[in-house]
Each structure stands twice: as structure tokens, then as C-alpha cells.
Structure 1
Amino acid sequence: MEARIHLPQGKQKSFLEAVLRKSELSVDQLAVYCTVTPRTFRDWHREKYFGPHKTFEKLARDFRVTLPKGETLTPYWYVAKGASLGGKKYLEMYGPPGTLEGRKKGGRVSQERRRQDPLRYKALGCNVAKEFIVPAPSTELAELIGVFLGDGGLTSHQATIYLSALVDREYSYFLAGLIQRVFRVKPSIYERINDHSIRLAISGVYFVNSLEDLGLKRGNKMKNKIRIPKWVLRNKQYATACVRGLFDTDGGFYFHRKRSGIYIGWCFTSYSESLLGDVHNVLQRVGLNAKKEQEGRLYMYDLWSIERYMELIGSHNPKNIAKFQSHLAVREKK
């Protein structure tokens, strides 16, 4: 590819018109003279394209026409300009390359395109967010909301429930089945030997978004001042089911000794004052009077209240059921 000449606006047209007059040739004849098509020559005349520098010098020399001064453009001169424009467009769309801001912006653009046309990106072999249908309100859903409020957590792409591998193994199996029934997704189960923990995880941006729509919040639960969602509190059955999920994860039965014998106690722990208040109010609605004697804790001491709790609300955590039944068995022997 040869160099081009960039003449001031209007000068290229006037130069070629002068060549046509001096040569007394037609456009088609001059095109042949320049070894180009008539269409190309007309494009030069309309200043659509810059003319070849050597060809214009030849025309000026052969037909004694002065060639105006202009800028010589080296071969592929347009590449740098195109790259510059392309770079500006890239910055506009994706942000600066190689920076955290740029990567974030590029990621957001990519995710938005995948949301708009998931089938296309799935066919290309790209990862596409799993579709998820929000389940209808139910007692089982409300119980899982309580579980997530208790020992759960949300990130931008994953919902997780943390349990003890020492005492909650059977309960983890129950929760895995409950999640599958309610959400129609199978959670992944991980166990860590070093800290004796079990983790139930459900991945998916849409899943996390759906839990947020149901009233949960991602991030630090204390900073977010978590509470039982309003749709749960408005329904007595949903509210008690939610408290069951909370108690089975962040509460439990314990035994305390007095001179007259060993007694069972009920305790729920949460350092979120708003959540603790919601649990206390739900218990009062069903006639149970839990006492707040320590910061972040609710207690019930008398056996009547505890039996009433198990009758009205109950537990799905085998460790709680076992402790309650063992205490009743001991009392019956007396």
C-alpha cells in the first residue's frame, strides 16, 4: 500500500478539476491513466478518500498543474486513528483495562448481556446464571428464613448455612431435604475436619436475589440489623415456623442443677437486638413469656413453658428433641 496525501478541504477537488481541464481527458480516460477504476477517481474528486501521493505528483508533473501542499500519510496511517477511537469506545464501555474499576465494569457489562440473552451465551459454552423461581409463602419457607437468619449468610452469589459436625449432622440432612423441597435446588454439603463444621451452600445470583426479595440481607447481619420479614410476622403460623428455624440453629436446651434436682432450660441467642425483639414478640403472641436476663439472650426456665413451646412450635433438630425427651423420661421415673 502506498502513501497518501492529505490536502486541505476543497484542494483535492480543485486540483483534479485543474488536471481534467489541462489534460482535456474525460474522467474515465484519466482513471485509466491512473490505473484505477472510474469510480475510484470520482471518489477522489468528491474527496471521499485521500489520493495516492505518487499518483498525484505524476498528474501534477505530466499535466503541469501545481499540487497544493499537504500532509503525507504513511501506509496504514488509519490504524492508529482507528485504534484510538476503538480504545476510547472500550474505555467508555468497560473502563480502564487492567484496573479493578475496569474489570468490575467489564464484568457488569458481560453479566448484563448474559441476562439479556442467556440461551446464546449458554450455546457458546459460557457460564450463565441459573434461573430460579421464588416459592410461594409457606411454613416450610418461613422455617428456612429462620434458619438463614440464624446460622446462614448471603454473599453476592451464594447462600450458606453453617452447622456443627459434632451435634448437627442429622439436622444438616433434614435441612438439605427441606431446601430441596422448598426451593427445588440441591444444596452442596461440605465438611471441614479442622473446625468440625458442616456447610450447606446454594450458589446462584438469582437464588441470592430471590432470598433478598423474601426479606433477607447479604453481608454482615449485625450491621444490617436483621429482622424477621414482615410477610412472616403477619401470619401466626409462618412466624412460629420462623422462630423454630431460629431456635434450631441459634438456640437450644440446656440442663442446670439445683438443690432439688436437674432442670431443663430453653435459650435463644442473638446479638441483633431487633431480631431478639421479634422472637420475643412472637413467643408472647402464643402465650410464652421468655425472659431477657443477659445481653443477646432469651430464656425460659419452667417446664410448663418449655413443654408448651414444643407443643406449639416444636423442633426439627434431633439434638433438641433428644434433650427434651430425655429430660421428660427422667422426670417420669421420679
Structure 2
Amino acid sequence: MRKRGKYIIDKRMKFKRGYQRKMILKIKNDNNLTWKNLADEFDVSIQTVMNDWGREFATIPYSLGIRMIDKYLSKEKNLILSYWISEILPKKWGQFLAGELNKKKIKIPQESEGLAELIAVILGDGHLERKTLTMTGNFFEREHHKYIETLVNELFGLSAYNIKLKGSNALQTKFHSTELIDFLIKNGLVLGNKITNKARIPEWIFSKREFMLAALRGLFDTDGGIYNKQKGYKRALIEFQTHSPFIRDNTIKLLQRTGFTPSKSASNNSSIGCTLACNTRIQNQKEIHKFFNVVGSANPKNILRYKYFLKRGEIPLKDKIYKEICRIKIIRPFKRL
């Protein structure tokens, strides 16, 4: 059985339009499975089974498809193979077709603040498959996604496409390029699960203060936020939330090296991952303002909540300022000068 995040070299099942989704949903719903159950059963990521297969963005490897049908749809096997599937594609069929999306040449960027910020953003909200980078966030933070799209275009010369997932407020921004994925892997990122595969900040980012500040902004705008510290008191805290002890330790290192005094909390001492969370906080009130002076934010949610804190001494829940968040346009990161 293949490892998650590894590319499967196999023939592929090409379904008639709509039938691959129909099969995936039938298996899931008829057997009361969650997306995680289904992903675990076939040793793939939730992203793969729910979006790539379930939304027909990618074909299903032949061997896995047969296993699915034999286990869950054996009575309909002849119907599926004869009528639902239009053809069986050969191994490496995408390479034979010289798929333009995946072989597109990219610009190779130099080490920079922009690249440092992007890598941190991916550590927060990104997911790497063999040919695709997917960024997932809340729809009301779409201006931050537009900011990321511009950043990727400036760095690599790539364009993106966006998907609003039905039945949720989730927004996905996707970039297709094997060269992009190869470049990101060389810079500390990993295919598949970021926790078990121990993704972390590359060492070059720690070589310059400007790179570290940019990386902190990327982490803050994806895995972080500003919150009320104590109800009834005009005090705030900044918190970075992750399930990865490696990303948590990188965050602490970035903060300490740029003059902050972070505190940390973890639900356990596992070397693999924290069961609940591996959180890092800035609680000193002067450092809260310093953070927005030197690091800033490109996420409208964080920007507006901090402005509320400056004006009123309290931070509203994001659901209560949803419409205001959606009206903010992001051209460059906000900093309180």
C-alpha cells in the first residue's frame, strides 16, 4: 500500500462525467463513512478522496478503484465497469499527454521576504500533492487568498483558480505545477501530512530579520489571531495555533530572534504531534503593538480585529464583523506605524 502523499504509478479509471462523484458519494453515504474513514481505508489524504476524486479533479488509480468496487459495490461491478467508466487510461498517461498545467515552466525565485512569507502561509493553510498546491481558508478571508495569488504570481509566474466548497464557507485556491511542488519540497515543505512528515521552516529564513518577520506574518495570517486576553479588561493576546510541535518550535524561535517573549502550551509531550494543540502566545501588551508595527498582517480578519482593539479596547468575534471583514481590500500588508 502506498504512503500518503506519494504519487501512484498505475492505470487510471476515467469515468463518464458525474459518475466518479456518484460512486464516491454512494460508497460514503450507503456505508455511513466519514471522509476520514474513506481516506484511511485507502491510505490517501482527505483532500484526495473528498476533492480530487469526489469533485472529479483527478482520476482514480485502477487498482484502488477495483478495491473500492469489490469491497463496497460488488453487486454493481459489471454496471460500473461497463457503463460508468468511459475508458481505462495507461500508466503515466498524463506524462504521455504532456499536460501543460503540470509541465509549465516557473520562475525560480531568490530568497526574499515574499518567499519567506509564502512558505509560512503554506505551513499554515497549505497542502501539497504531487502536482498541486492547495490553500484552504474561510470564504470571508478571500482578500488574503487574493494576496497569496498575487504573491505566487510575482514569485513563480503562476496563476490560480478558486473553489468555494458547497455546503460550507471554505475557499480553496489551487496552483498546478510539478516544478512548483519540487521547489517547495527543497525548501522544507512536504507532501501530504505536515505533522507526521515533520514540515518546518527552512534554515535560510533564520538568516535575516526581514525574512523572519515576513514568515511570522505568514504564520499569523493562517494559524494565528488576536483575541481578548481577559473578559472585561482592555487586554489582548496574539496566539499561533498548530498541531505540529515542529511548527510550534519554529514559531517560538522566530519570535525570540525578533525580540518577542512568547509563551507556549501543549496538550501532551508527543514527539509526533500534539493531540489538541501546540499553541504559542504573545501576552505582553507592548509586544502586541510591536507585533503590528514590525510584522503586520495581510489578513483582513486580523487587521480589523486589531483596529477594534485600538479603538475600543476589546476584540469582537469575527462572525459579528463578517461584513466589515469582507469590505477590506488588501494590496500590501497592514502595519501600524
Q: What's the TM-score once normalised by structure 2's chain length?
A: 0.60
1:176 aligns with 2:149: yes
1:151 aligns with 2:133: no
Instruction: Report sequence identity in percent.
Output: 28
Q: What is residue 107 of structure 1 aligned with on the other side?
A: 92
**What is the RMSD computed on CA atoms of the aligned residues?**
3.0
- Describe the superposition over 1:141-194 as per-residue Cα deviations: whole angstroms up to 9, x where unpaired: 11000000100010011001101013x122122222222112211111111241
Q: What is residue 219 of structure 2 aligned with on the other side?
A: 246
- Describe the superposition over 1:31-50 as per-residue Cα deviations: whole angstroms up to 9, x where unpaired: xxxxxxxxxxxxxxxxxxxx
Q: What is residue 326 of structure 1 aligned with on the other side?
A: 308
Contiguous gaps of at least 5 residues in structure 1: 1-93, 115-120
Q: What is residue 311 of structure 1 aligned with on the other side?
A: 293
Q: What is residue 209 of structure 1 aligned with on the other side?
A: 182
Q: What is residue 196 of structure 2 aligned with on the other side?
A: 223
- Report the alpha carbon displacement of residue 271 of structure 1 after superposing the two structures with TM: 1.3
Contact 2:108 2:155 in 1 (8 A): no
**Partner SS state of residue 136, structure 1:** coil
Which of 235, 239, 244 is 1:267 aligned to? 239
Contiguous gaps of at least 5 residues in structure 2: 1-8, 14-61, 65-87, 268-277, 315-337
Q: Pick the structure with greater CA Rg.
A: 1
**Residue identity matched to 1:230:** E
Q: Which structure is richer in relative contact order (CA contacts within 8 A, separation 6 or more)?
A: 2
- CA 1:293–1:210: 2 relative to 1, 3 Å: closer
**Cα distance in 1 between the residues matched to 2:171 and 2:147:** 13
- Report the alpha carbon displacement of residue 96 of structure 1 after superposing the two structures with TM: 10
- Report the alpha carbon displacement of residue 126 of structure 1 after superposing the two structures with TM: 8.1
**Residue identity matched to 1:308:** K
**Partner SS state of residue 172, structure 2:** strand
**Partner SS state of residue 233, structure 1:** helix
**Cα distance in 1 between the residues matched to 2:156 and 2:258:** 29
- Report the alpha carbon displacement of residue 318 of structure 1 after superposing the two structures with TM: 1.3
**Partner SS state of residue 240, structure 2:** strand
- Report the alpha carbon displacement of residue 266 of structure 1 after superposing the two structures with TM: 0.6
**Residue identity matched to 2:287:** S
Which of 171, 196, 203 is 2:169 aligned to? 196
More helix as a share of residues? 1
- CA 1:239–1:127: 2 relative to 1, 3 Å: closer
- Describe the superposition over 1:92-150 as per-residue Cα deviations: whole angstroms up to 9, x where unpaired: xx99999749x999428x83xx6xxxxxx76xx98862122321111011100000010
**Cα distance in 1 between the residues matched to 2:281 and 2:105:** 42
**Residue identity matched to 2:298:** H
